[in-house]
Amino acid sequence: MKSLYAVSHWFPAEEFATRRARVFEAIGPTACALLQGGGPVRGFEVFRQTNEFFYLCGVELPQAYLLLDGRDQTTALFVPGGSAAETLGLNAVYGLEALEERLAGVTMLYTPFAPPEGRVECRDVLQLYAKTVAKDPWDGEVSRAARFQARLRAVLPRAELRDLSPIVDALRVIKSPHEIELMRYTGKLTGLAVKAAIEATRPGMREYQLGAIADGLYRDGGARREGYCPIIACGANIWDGHYNQNDSLLTDGDLVLMDYAPDVCNYTNDIGRMWPVNGRFEGYQRELYGFIVTYHKALLKRLRPGALPREILAETAEEMRGVWERTTFSKPIYAEAARKALEFRGHLSHPVGMAVHDVGSYFDVPMQVGLVISIDPMLWVPEETLYIRVEDTIVITETGCEVLTAHVPFEIAEVEALMQAQVALA
């Protein structure tokens, strides 16, 4: 059996050839496309290829360049030394010194303008980082991607430079059967890890200890690293939706939120689970969490190909309006929080794939088979800084959807039974 680390374990050469063929079709027969892969690693970090580059060739080498030449429909890889162990169907491999010569005569060149996504990076976070740096008068950092574009303009002063990012982004939205199989596996690993964390939870532990349990299972299952920085938040820490300190005590009477998934062959997953530290949902926890669990199930049963996301949200909100009307909330602020949840459109969240917040847009078009997104119904009670959510990653199928992270219970009775069974065994 091939190693889970091997690209060819998950993707045949034909998978990358199909992706490149679609790029050729998009750029036309007179243009070329050039991508710069990830740079050399600093220190003792493990190299991970950037997502757009990996998507089109699967090559895991630093300082690599990929040229798709629309004029003759060939693809060449340029790497230091001019050799690569696994090229997955590329036409040729050259040394870096040959790249400028191969670009001679190019009049239209596509290259990604968006920042490249590396390890534990997403496009939205990278764009925020760039804006933050730009506002700092004492910084002035120029990104590697910006230096690359400047170099291209210097080498090809008369060529028209166009943005490749929208083309590749659109391709990445709908996953192939091979991608879905890999994400099915990352979902399984995610489920095993979060379930183990639920079972191990005891008052007095630290948040990071739950992450350590997940890390061990991820590495044992063939994951290279984490897919994103873990969110393991207890009590008031949950209010910060992207809390990542993960060093507080798990306190009796509080809820804990865990949102954490691995990176396997440059693909990840997404999940959000909440459970009581002491093993029993009490008071507002049962009331508000139970409402969101019902919302979650109402969304899942409506996901289907051909439906517009806004239609699914409207249908679900109509059903949940009846649930809201039949529910006796213990406080007016809880009733108001649940009512506002009916108006929130973010319950159908973001694409998931090579990045946890994957690229591409899906919200304004009918859902297609192969679309992978996060389902994340949530509510907020600002008066008491309470935040409740239940998240899964799903793929749209011919008959509805498949939940890729279905291995972790979220029903109140099932979570309590799981935790109490472990206490009895201790």
Helix and strand totals (H; E) in the chain: 13, 17
Rounded to 10 deg, the angle between the 284-300 and 412-425 helix axes is 120
Range 177-424 classified under CATH 1.10.150.120: no
The pLDDT, as a whole number, for residue 423 is 59
Under a CB-based contact definition with an 8 Å cutoff, are residues 23 and 53 in contact? no
DSSP string covering 114-127: SPPP-TT--HHHHH
pTM of the model: 0.95
The pLDDT, as a whole number, for residue 86 is 63
The pLDDT, as a whole number, for residue 328 is 95
Fold of 7-173: Creatine Amidinohydrolase; Chain A, domain 1 (3.40.350)
The pLDDT, as a whole number, for residue 83 is 72
Under a CB-based contact definition with an 8 Å cutoff, are residues 238 and 284 in contact? no
Q: How many angstroms separate the CA atoms of 24 and 42, rounded?
A: 34
Q: What is the pLDDT along the chain (426 residues), one digit of tens a residue?
A: 456 667 888 999 999 999 999 999 999 999 999 999 999 998 888 899 999 999 999 999 999 999 999 999 999 999 998 776 566 789 999 999 999 999 999 999 999 999 999 999 999 999 999 899 988 999 888 888 899 999 999 999 999 999 999 999 999 999 999 999 999 999 999 999 999 999 999 999 999 999 999 999 999 999 989 999 999 999 999 999 889 999 999 999 999 999 999 999 999 999 999 999 999 999 999 999 999 999 999 999 999 999 999 999 999 999 999 999 999 999 999 999 999 999 999 999 999 999 999 999 999 999 999 999 999 999 999 999 999 999 999 999 999 999 999 999 999 999 999 998 765 555
Site of tokens 């374990």: 9
Range(s) within the chain of domains with CATH label 3.90.230.10 = 177-424
Radius of gyration of the chain (CA): 23
- Which 8-state DSSP code applies to residue 88? T
E strand map for 98-199: 108-111, 160-163
Closest to 403 (Cα-Cα) out of 269, 220, 257: 269
Range(s) within the chain of domains with CATH label 3.40.350.10 = 7-173
